[in-house]
Amino acid sequence: MVKRRIAEILRSGQPDESLLIQGWVRTKRELKGFSFIEVNDGSSLASLQVVMNQDLPDYEAIIKKLNTGASVEVTGVLVPSQGKGQRIELKAEMVKVYGEADPETYPLQKKRHSYEFLRTIGHLRSRTNSFGAVFRVRNACATAIHQFFQERGFLWVHTPIITASDCEGAGELFNVTSFNLKDIPRTENNAVDYAQDFFGRPTYLTVSGQLEAEVMAMAFSNVYTFGPTFRAENSNTSRHLAEFWMVEPEMAFCDLDGDMDLAEAFLKHVFKYVLETCPEDMEFFNQRIDDTVLATAENIINNQFQRLTYTEAISLLEKADVKFEYPVSWGLDLQSEHERYLAEQLFKKPVIVSDYPAKIKAFYMRLSDDEKTVRAMDILAPKIGEIIGGSQREERLDVLEKRILAQGMQPEDLWWYLDLRRYGTVPHAGFGLGFERLVQFMTGMGNIRDVIPFPRTPQSAEF
């Protein structure tokens, strides 16, 4: 018997085909002499309707077990559906119940649950329409990302999770200590003795793979990393996680303009791919989550992003007739309310802000001739704010050394990074995209906790 995925059956299944499906029961309707169940296997938003006649072996006993949440295998033949809403349905010939689900205690009841509640049952929420759609779109985004870079000859490089440097200089680090806590050597005041710890020096979970991606770009020209990063963000916002995924391309022989062009083409590609491969899921988000999702996607694909400098952005913000919570003035970083104002209200599309003050940006960004600004860019999205942060990197050894010192860091700690400027240095550039922010942007989901299967935020990491 051919086992088929439900998405494929709904798309192309023909009457008289015999097949087998496996999945979880979404609903059951008992009528006189026959019953319907809707079965979902995660492959699509829509479920497959299965019809069971009372002449099915063990009919009564099986129907009793087929409650919402039960796992089931059905063998049968496709028939045209009499009812509205579906083209085809499966007439059951054999039904096997793998695991029952007690309707009294099954946490996913038929009613619509809030996302707050669903976060408390994170192990089951993927069985809902919303989370099914989110995680399919997340998968499509990841596929599109690899496709985009692979088609352009970028090498996917794997940068380390455990690192010894704080690339962003923001101090939001998670410590790494060796495994058996009770055996860790301690100093007199009970602090971990790093000199004797596993690596013989303090190590952290990576906040960004950028510095290591630069290493690889200095041999392979165009590379990208795509993996988890960690930040001890002590804030509870709807766009920060302690563990999130980042996509970080790095290009040798590239300046900031090339970087911005690549980032824009990249976002356009991902949106286009997801619209083409997940039309039902995207339609669902548009109907149920945010009715601007489809228009936003079209807008991104078809229109050029707005580009302006930080200095221009500040003057627009100073003229804005909205009352911001945080101050706006040249030299201060943009807050999410400012970023959203620019993208959402003023330009109504993604905005690329470039040339930020050097003082508010990381040491590795290319200092401009004015010596006040760096060749950095952020891409700001409506409803979210910053989704991409990028820059041309400082390729001049002497300038880089000065910048490292100015930010209170030790050039010796970054000797290998400086070596790249000592031997065969080139102008290069790259960016970091927060993968979850992209999925949020794509789906219209309001909270970043709802676009990653296992969100890690302060005071919460249940499993």
- Structure tokens given for 217: 């770009």
CB of 234 to Mg ion, least distance (A): 11
Residue 188 CA to residue 181 CA, distance in Å, equals 16
Q: Which span (12-20, 123-131, 136-144, 426-434) binds ligand ATP, by CB under 6 A?
A: 426-434
Q: Which x/- pattern over 382-401 shows residues binding ligand ATP (rule: CB under 6 A)?
A: ----xxxx------------
Among 38, 89, 168, 264, binds ligand ATP (CB under 6 A): 168
Q: Which residue has the tokens 């935020």?
A: 457
Handedness of CA 336, 206, 140, 39 (dihedral sign): negative
Paired sense of beta strands 88-99 and 48-53, if any: parallel
User: Could you give the dihedral angle defined by the CA atoms of residues 153, 156, 157 and 159, in that order, rounded to the nearest 10 degrees?
Assistant: 140
Instruction: Please identify, using beta-carbon distances, which residue of 131 and 245 lies nearer to ligand ATP.
Output: 245
Q: Which span (69-77, 192-200, 368-376, 429-437) binds ligand ATP, by CB under 6 A?
A: 429-437
Kindly state whether residue 364 participates in binding ligand ATP, applying the rule CB under 6 A.
no
Residue 336 CA to residue 448 CA, distance in Å, equals 14
Kindly state whether residue 264 participates in binding ligand ATP, applying the rule CB under 6 A.
no
- The CA angle 132-136-137, to the nearest 5 degrees, is 115
CB of 263 to ligand ATP, least distance (A): 11
Instruction: Please identify, using beta-carbon distances, which residue of 427 and 434 lies nearer to ligand ATP.
Output: 434
| Binding residues among 191-250 for ligand ATP as defined by CB under 6 A | 231, 233, 240-241, 244, 246
- Which one of Mg ion, ligand ATP, none is in contact with 437 (Cβ closer than 5 to 8 A by kind)? ligand ATP
| Binding residues among 301-340 for ligand ATP as defined by CB under 6 A | none
Q: Which span (104-112, 176-184, 285-293, 428-436) binds ligand ATP, by CB under 6 A?
A: 428-436
- The CA angle 297-303-308, to the nearest 5 degrees, is 115
Instruction: Please identify, using beta-carbon distances, which residue of 353 and 433 lies nearer to ligand ATP.
Output: 433
- Structure tokens given for 218: 């200095």
CB of 402 to ligand ATP, least distance (A): 22
- The CA angle 387-392-396, to the nearest 5 degrees, is 150
Compute the radius of gyration of the chain from its Cα atoms.
26
Q: Which residue has the tokens 């003057």?
A: 315
CB of 378 to Mg ion, least distance (A): 6
User: Could you give the dihedral angle defined by the CA atoms of residues 367, 372, 375 and 379, in that order, rounded to the nearest 10 degrees?
Assistant: 150
Instruction: Please identify, using beta-carbon distances, which residue of 51 and 246 lies nearer to ligand ATP.
Output: 246
CB of 94 to ligand ATP, least distance (A): 47
Kindly state whether residue 445 participates in binding ligand ATP, applying the rule CB under 6 A.
no
Q: Which span (74-82, 294-302, 408-416, 434-442) binds ligand ATP, by CB under 6 A?
A: 434-442
Backbone angles phi, psi at 32, to 5 degrees: -70, 115
Residue 119 near residue 455, CB atoms below 8 Å: yes
Kindly state whether residue 434 participates in binding ligand ATP, applying the rule CB under 6 A.
yes
Site residues (CB under 5 A) for Mg ion? 386, 389
CB of 430 to ligand ATP, least distance (A): 11
Handedness of CA 240, 246, 249, 250 (dihedral sign): positive
Residue nearest to Mg ion (CB): 389
Nearest CA to 381 among 429, 342, 439, 416? 342
Residues in touch with ligand ATP (CB under 6 A): 168, 231, 233, 240-241, 244, 246, 386-389, 432-434, 436-437
